[in-house]
Structure formats: C-alpha cells, structure tokens
Amino acid sequence: MIEFNNETLANGVGVIRPVGRLNMVSAPRLGANIDALISDGTVRLVVDLAGTDFIDSSGLGALITGLKKTRQAGGDLRLANPTAQITAVLEMTNLNKVLQPVSSVDGAY
C-alpha cells in the first residue's frame, strides 16, 4: 500500500511524497494527486521519491503524464531523492533525460 504526503512550500512549489511502491495499483492515485494540485493552481511540482522503494512502467507513465500536464499548465514537474532502484529504472529507460532527478526538494527549483 502506498501513502501520499503532499505539501506546498512557501515558494509555491507543490511537493508530493509517495511512500511505498509506485506501481499499477498506486499510479492512478499519483495522477489524482498531481491533478488536484494543478486544479488548485500549483503547477510547479516536485515528486520526492525518498520513500518510494519501487517503480514500474505504470509509475513511470504517471510521472510522464504529470510532466505533460504541468507543462501544459505553464509549470513543470521534477523528481527529487530517487532511490537506487528508481535511478536505475530511469537510466535504463533514458527517462533520466526527461525527468531529470535532483538530490533534494530544495534544489529542484
């Protein structure tokens, strides 16, 4: 089971912290969290992956869809603190070039 902890920073950046496995079961919930933040006018988003221990193609798809939606709304989506497993998946799929991960939430924007 996955848990999402969301917050909006003082600079207006929305942070989504999924804790658990980001897979075909939980990916729609990530998408719903992203959609809710965009609907509230928060279009600069960071997905903090420090607590996410696994990602599959559905999770990657949710991140790419979120990136597309934030950019269409005039913002961006960035990844922070990816685990070794997530970094490996991003590199294998070359998505590290699109979803350029950074080492901290503070360094994302």
Task: Report the CATH number at residue 26.
Answer: 3.30.750.24
> How many domains are there within the chain?
1
C-alpha distances (whole Å) from 36 to each of 14, 21, 54, 93 are 11, 21, 23, 28
Distance CA 22, CA 27 (A): 6
Whether 54 is covered by a domain: the verdict is yes
At 60 the three-state DSSP class reads helix
Of 74, 73, 81, give the one whose Cα is nearest residue 15: 81
Whether 68 is covered by a domain: the verdict is yes
Residue 93 belongs to domain spanning: 3-101
Q: Tell if the pTM clears 0.85, that is, is over it.
A: yes
Structure tokens belonging to residue 13: 């950046």
Whether 50 is covered by a domain: the verdict is yes
Whether 107 is covered by a domain: the verdict is no
pLDDT, one tens digit per residue, over 31-83 is 999 999 999 999 999 999 999 999 999 999 999 999 999 999 999 999 999 99
